[in-house]
């Protein structure tokens, strides 16, 4: 592009989509074309699916794609968590090995952070990684691992030095999920879906070359990952389904048709697809004829606008500083509240129909699937309570919990555990 102003970028992108978009292309071929043109994730670096564009120019590209009716890039843990972290901390060899297969949708990833005894206090994790020559041997249990049953790789944090304080003895790894020693067990949720899993690691192997960041610096690397997870305007959050196996050989049309029949609440939340579903519901029930509902919809629109504006500032800060700061927790809180507002307006709009569930419900049950998922938005990626602590302590400079400083300096091996 000769100019990177939003208008010029949008015009250039619109011309590209006019010449290249074809719903009869194989899905893998379409995603590769997007990546090669730098239009998959426009703010990412050139050569990795992007063009290094600003937040406003990136939004212009996305709008051009929507105007053309073109299918979006891959979505999921690989694109909105693994890739940004690898771009920030990965060696050139790691970036060359992993990023191309992320941007073209070939490799799916999962996140192996939380444990049964280390949820909100994630730094208390007990999964161990012990050095064995040029490899690490990993044993332990992880839980709430989205999409792990389909993942080829995982981003993993494990304890490498139990004699260090809990935040300083952790290291970050990129692990092969398809090896012996990795046992994935899906967890059925109240939505009826099984997007989450528990993962048991029994002497699984990770090459030293797949350690991400410095030894013992895994907590800082993990905070980068979580800052991206908490950012609702993360450019890696696409509009396509976030989880599930993918056949890259089927046409885009066939893939899109298959998705429409099995979309889940998790993907609707991550992709932003609930916006259209809410609009459809309010039209179906003539909800905007009611002044109170109009006022509540106006509130939702304003919350979206606030989130977008704040997200653009966060993205600009991240581009200059390398990663989002603790302020992104305010966006995470805003996203959780926005989800609750959308849920309540939609269900109340439906009246008695709001008690239905499944394909016979309005919108084919899509809105109800999202509504059942909304409690998870206040938990996943750090609970609302954790986010408020982060904002209070790291943004406003309020004191930490009594005794927390002393506990943070104790060796992990000496900490009390249930």
d(CA 86, CA 98) in angstroms, rounded, equals 8
Q: Let me know the angle formed at the C-alpha of 186 by 184 and 191, rounded to the nearest 5 degrees.
A: 160
What is the CATH number for 326?
1.20.140
Q: Which pLDDT tens digit goes with each residue over 260-274?
A: 666 667 777 666 678
Contact (CB, 8 A) for 226 and 382: yes
Handedness of CA 309, 310, 311, 312 (dihedral sign): positive
Q: Residue 318 pLDDT > 60, yes or no?
A: no
pLDDT-derived band at 357, boundaries 50, 70, 90: confident
Number of domains in the chain: 3
What is the CATH number for 208?
2.40.110.10
Of the given ranges (20-29, 385-394, 407-416), which has the lowest mean pLDDT? Answer: 407-416
Q: Let me know the angle formed at the C-alpha of 347 by 342 and 348, rounded to the nearest 5 degrees.
A: 100
d(CA 259, CA 257) in angstroms, rounded, equals 5
Whether residue 16 lies inside any domain: the answer is: yes
Whether residue 321 lies inside any domain: the answer is: yes
DSSP string for residues in 22-60: -TTSBHHHHHHHHHHTT-SSTTSPBTTTB----HHHHHH
d(CA 38, CA 22) in angstroms, rounded, equals 17
Note whether 69 and 106 are same-domain residues. Answer: no
Query: What are the φ/ψ torsions at residue 417 (nearest 5 degrees)?
Result: -140, 145
Whether residue 388 lies inside any domain: the answer is: no
d(CA 146, CA 158) in angstroms, rounded, equals 18
| Nearest alpha carbon to residue 176 among 146, 202, 155 | 155
Give me the domain span that covers residue 65: 6-74
Q: What is the mean pLDDT of the chain?
A: 88
Note whether 139 and 65 are same-domain residues. Answer: no
d(CA 399, CA 394) in angstroms, rounded, equals 9
E-strand stretches of 71-218: 109-112, 128-132, 135-143, 153-159, 170-176, 182-187, 196-207, 211-212
Whether residue 374 lies inside any domain: the answer is: yes
| Nearest alpha carbon to residue 90 among 177, 213, 273 | 213
pLDDT-derived band at 327, boundaries 50, 70, 90: confident
Residues recognised as catalytic: 229
Whether residue 67 lies inside any domain: the answer is: yes
Q: Let me know the angle formed at the C-alpha of 94 by 92 and 99, rounded to the nearest 5 degrees.
A: 100
Q: Which pLDDT tens digit goes with each residue over 182-198?
A: 999 999 888 777 888 99
Q: Residue 202 pLDDT > 90, yes or no?
A: yes
Whether residue 399 lies inside any domain: the answer is: no
Note whether 110 and 41 are same-domain residues. Answer: no
Note whether 48 and 130 are same-domain residues. Answer: no
Q: Is 401 helix (H, G, I), strand (E, B) or coil?
A: coil
d(CA 30, CA 46) in angstroms, rounded, equals 18
Whether residue 330 lies inside any domain: the answer is: yes
Strands 128-132 and 135-143: antiparallel
Q: Residue 1 pLDDT > 60, yes or no?
A: no
pTM of the model: 0.85
Note whether 68 and 146 are same-domain residues. Answer: no
Note whether 279 and 340 are same-domain residues. Answer: yes
Q: Which residue has the tokens 């579903």?
A: 277
Note whether 373 and 273 are same-domain residues. Answer: yes
d(CA 302, CA 341) in angstroms, rounded, equals 12
* Mean of pLDDT values over 151-180: 96
d(CA 94, CA 102) in angstroms, rounded, equals 12
Contact (CB, 8 A) for 182 and 204: yes
Note whether 39 and 129 are same-domain residues. Answer: no
pLDDT-derived band at 85, boundaries 50, 70, 90: very high
Please state, as a whole number, how many other Cβ atoms lie within 10 Å of the Cβ of residue 390. Answer: 22
Note whether 293 and 187 are same-domain residues. Answer: no
Whether residue 96 lies inside any domain: the answer is: no
Note whether 147 and 199 are same-domain residues. Answer: yes
Note whether 44 and 114 are same-domain residues. Answer: no
Q: Which residue has the tokens 């893939």?
A: 255
Of all residues in the chain, what percent carry a pLDDT higher than 70?
92
Q: Residue 280 pLDDT > 60, yes or no?
A: yes
Q: Which pLDDT tens digit goes with each residue over 227-237?
A: 888 777 788 87
Domain edge (last residue) among 222, 248, 280: 222
The more confident residue out of 372 and 136 is 136
Please state, as a whole number, how many other Cβ atoms lie within 10 Å of the Cβ of residue 37. Answer: 17
Q: Let me know the angle formed at the C-alpha of 237 by 205 and 120, rounded to the nearest 5 degrees.
A: 60
d(CA 214, CA 312) in angstroms, rounded, equals 30
Residues 6 or more apart whose Cβ sits within 8 Å of residue 23: 71, 251, 252, 253, 256
Note whether 56 and 155 are same-domain residues. Answer: no
């Amino acid at each position: 592009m000769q100019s990177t102003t939003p208008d010029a970028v949008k015009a250039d992108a619109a011309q590209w989509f006019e010449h290249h978009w074809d719903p009869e292309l194989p899905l893998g071929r379409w995603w590769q074309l997007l990546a090669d043109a730098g239009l998959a994730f426009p703010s990412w670096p050139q050569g990795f699916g992007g063009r290094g564009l600003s937040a406003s120019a990136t939004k212009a590209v996305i709008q051009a794609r929507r105007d053309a009716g073109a299918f979006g890039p891959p979505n999921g843990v690989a694109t909105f968590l693994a890739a940004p972290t690898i771009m920030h901390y990965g060696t050139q060899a790691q970036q060359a090995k992993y990023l191309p297969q992320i941007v073209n949708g070939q490799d799916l990833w999962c996140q192996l952070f939380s444990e049964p005894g280390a949820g909100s206090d994630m730094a208390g994790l007990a999964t161990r990684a012990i050095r064995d020559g040029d490899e690490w041997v990993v044993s332990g249990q992880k839980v709430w691992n989205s999409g792990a049953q389909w993942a080829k790789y995982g981003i993993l944090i494990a304890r490498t030095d139990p004699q260090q304080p809990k935040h300083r003895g952790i290291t970050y790894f990129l692990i092969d999920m398809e090896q012996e020693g990795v046992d994935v067990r899906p967890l059925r949720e109240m939505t009826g879906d099984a997007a989450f899993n528990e993962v048991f690691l029994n002497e699984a192997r990770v090459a030293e070359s797949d350690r991400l960041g410095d030894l013992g610096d895994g907590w800082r690397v993990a905070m980068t990952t979580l800052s991206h997870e908490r950012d609702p305007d993360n450019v890696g959050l696409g509009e396509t389904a976030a989880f599930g196996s993918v056949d890259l050989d089927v046409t885009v049309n066939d893939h899109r048709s298959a998705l429409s029949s099995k979309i889940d609440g998790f993907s609707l939340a991550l992709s932003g697809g609930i916006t259209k579903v809410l609009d459809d519901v309010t039209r179906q029930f003539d909800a905007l004829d009611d002044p109170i509902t109009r006022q509540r919809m106006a509130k939702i629109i304003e919350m979206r606008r606030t989130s977008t504006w704040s997200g653009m500032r966060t993205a600009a800060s991240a581009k200059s500083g390398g990663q989002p700061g603790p302020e992104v927790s305010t966006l995470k809180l805003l996203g959780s509240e926005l989800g609750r507002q959308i849920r309540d307006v939609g269900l109340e709009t439906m009246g008695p129909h709001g008690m239905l569930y499944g394909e016979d419900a309005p919108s084919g049950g899509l809105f109800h699937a999202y509504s059942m998922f909304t409690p998870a938005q206040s938990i996943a990626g750090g609970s609302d309570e954790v986010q408020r602590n982060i904002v209070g302590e790291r943004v406003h400079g309020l004191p930490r919990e009594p005794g927390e400083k002393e506990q943070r300096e104790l060796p992990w091996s000496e900490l009390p555990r249930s």
